Amino acid sequence: MENAAVLTLAGLCLGTALTGLIAVLLGQGSRRERRSIGAVYIAFIGMTALPLVQTFAAGAVTNYMPLLLFMLLILPPAFYHYVAAKTAKVSPPGLLWRDKALPVTGGVVCVGFWILPAPAKTTLFISGELPPGMLPAVLTVATFALIMIWLIASFAYLVAILHRLAAYRAHIRQLYSDVEKRDLRWVDVVMVLLVLIWATGAASLADDNLAGGNLFIEELFLALIAGGLLSLNVFVPITPPAPRSVVEEDTPEVKYARSALTDAHKATLAARLEAAMRTDTLYLDPSLSLQKLARHVGALPNQVSQTLNQEIGASFFDYVARWRIEASKPLIMAGDASVLTIALAVGFNSRSAFYKAFKRETGMTPKGYQNAIPGELMT
């Protein structure tokens, strides 16, 4: 029987996961997003319910244990496809065979364990010993192999998620002057928690087999899962729509290769962009987007984007942020207003976004800039 701390944490995780799953089923978003994140919740429900099953339904443990392998194997591809659905410029393709291979194989192994005689399952999952016969040995070796492959696949999915996020964040910087609420930074936090959960899960197995479960690894494992589930419950319902809707409805795809924009046209358009910022102070609009700027200068969004990238050498986000930072410098040196007030006055939507942009542009914080020797600022 599990201790009270483990049961409490398992109950917390189970309740949090069920709440998130119900919210996903009843919420909005594309079918791909809801299906993928729903699979993540189901996987966590399966993994965190084990202590409760062991305590309150001990007779079901031998049939429940094989199911955990399947739950474990669907978690990485499910979370990857959720991120893919959130960051895709167009509707992502369906599941590829490589995404299905591990879960399907895990399902076959799970069924194989289920068809074993009851005494063999008891020997395997309760006594922890290998029963006689070819099938139990094959299933045990297959389980070990799948867990090893799962570790490699999890790393591959982690890299793929980071790659997609990097491409997505570069893309939205071409469209918006405020990306803080669109850049899915919370996914980074969840991925860190997932890595810690996977590492702690492996340590928990070692603890059970080598230290008799005396190192409190299981409690840490469940606490990390609770943190990951709470993060999902907070951020999944409020994340912005996938960029494909923005691209399809508001702006065409940026295709410089087919562009008929000449160097002379780019130079002219660059001058109009300069006037829009310097004279019309468009950067003060906190919701300024590529679409709005293009309308103001009388050009197509892809032409503005091409001019910014090729003629001026900056993304839309960096170009607007540069003007906002320049406008903030006199206000900072005057010292009459708070950093938040200055940030909002020059077009930023938050203090943190201003801080990051200011540090990136000047190499120092607003306070450091204010305290710098004037002669240093001129060099």
pLDDT digits (tens, 9 = 90+) for 99-120: 889 999 999 999 999 999 999 9
Q: What is the 3-state secondary structure of 109-139?
A: HHHHHHCCCHHHHHHHHHHCCCCCCHHHHHH
51: pLDDT strictly greater than 60? yes
Same domain, 146 and 285: no
Residue pair 40/54 in contact (Cβ under 8 Å)? The answer is: no
- Whether 197 and 230 map to the same domain: the answer is yes
Beta-carbon contacts of 361 under 8 Å, excluding residues fewer than 6 positions away, are 321, 322, 325
The domain total for the chain is 2
- Asked whether residue 161 falls in the same domain as residue 282, the answer is no
Reported pTM: 0.82
Residues 272 and 225 in one domain: no
Statement to judge: residues 233 and 296 lie in one domain? no
Residue owning tokens 């491409």: 167
CATH number of the domain within which 328 lies:
1.10.10.60
Does residue 218 sit in the same domain as residue 292?
A: no
Q: How would DSSP label each residue in 149-217?
A: HHHHHHHHHHHHHHHHHHHHHHHHTTTBS--TTTS-HHHHHHHHHHHHHHHHHHHHHHIIIIITT-S-H
Domain extent, residue 307, equals 248-378
Given CA atoms 256, 261, 263, 265 in this order, what sign does their dihedral have? negative
Mean pLDDT confidence for 53-64? 91
Looking at the fold, whether 361 and 213 belong to one and the same domain comes out as no
Which pair of structure tokens corresponds to residue 249? 């409805």
C-alpha separations of 108 from 25, 27, 90, 151 in Å: 27, 32, 34, 19
Looking at the fold, whether 94 and 35 belong to one and the same domain comes out as yes
pLDDT at 240 over 50: yes
pLDDT, residue 98, reads 84
- From 211, 243, 275, the end of a domain falls on 243
CA nearest neighbour of 201 among 156, 151, 159, 160: 151
128 and 235 together in one domain: yes
Token pair listed for 216: 């409190």
Contact 72, 105 (CB under 8 A): no
Last residue of a domain, one of 190, 209, 243: 243
Residue pair 200/224 in contact (Cβ under 8 Å)? The answer is: yes
Q: Where among 220, 243, 266 does a domain terminate?
A: 243
User: For residue 49, what pLDDT is reported?
Assistant: 92
| 179 and 81 in a common domain | yes
Each residue of 211-235: b (16+ CB within 10 Å) or e? Answer: eeeeeebbbbbbbbbbbbbbbbbee
Tens of pLDDT, residue by residue over 289-348, are 999 999 999 999 989 999 999 899 999 999 999 999 999 999 999 888 899 999 999 999
The gap from C-alpha 135 to its chain's centroid, in whole angstroms, comes to 40
Confidence bin at 96 (pLDDT 50/70/90): confident
